[in-house]
Structure 1
Amino acid sequence: MVSLIVGVVLMGFCAFACLPCGLGWSGDVINFLKGFGPSFAAFCGLISVFIGFADIKDKKEAKKEELAAKKAEENK
């Protein structure tokens, strides 16, 4: 419950800070988002590549285990 209240308060502060009648930080926020966007996209892309490699590796291991299970059944 406390985290919900803190989250609502912080979102309210963010909205207030970006309003022209508030703190007027809207220009700074836009500049931050312009600079942060490409970096965040590159980071997400890198993480996606690592997840893709791990998925391919897991599929290969699953095939090997499946073949080993089939061989074990045939040998019985």
Structure 2
Amino acid sequence: MIALIVGLVAIAFAVLAVIPAGLNWWQDVLLFLRGSIPVMAVLIGLLAVFIGIADIKDQIEAKKEEAEEKAKENSSSESK
């Protein structure tokens, strides 16, 4: 319940801070958002690279396991 109240107070403060009748911080908020776009792009790009590398590793591992299974099937069918 306390978290809900704190959240509502934070939202109310944010709205009052950006409206012209309040603290009128809208230009500062826009400046911050414009400045954070390149940083967010770098972070998202790094995340995408790490996910891509992990995906490639998983595909390589799956191919190795598939080759091992085929080798086992071939050796078991030859021994019969």
Structure-1-length-normalised TM-score: 0.84
CA RMSD in angstroms, aligned pairs only: 1.6
Of 17-26 and 3-12, the range deviating more from structure 2: 3-12
Superposition deviation, residue 57 in structure 1: 1.0
Residue number in structure 1 paired with 2:60:
60
Secondary structure of the residue aligned to 2:21 is coil
List gaps (5 residues or longer) in structure 2: none
TM-score normalised by structure 2 residue count: 0.80
Deviating above 6 A after TM superposition, structure 1's stretches of 4 or more consecutive aligned residues are none
- Cα distance in 1 between the residues matched to 2:74 and 2:2: 59
- Match of 1:23, SS state, is coil
Percent identity (aligned): 50
SS in 2 for 1:21: coil
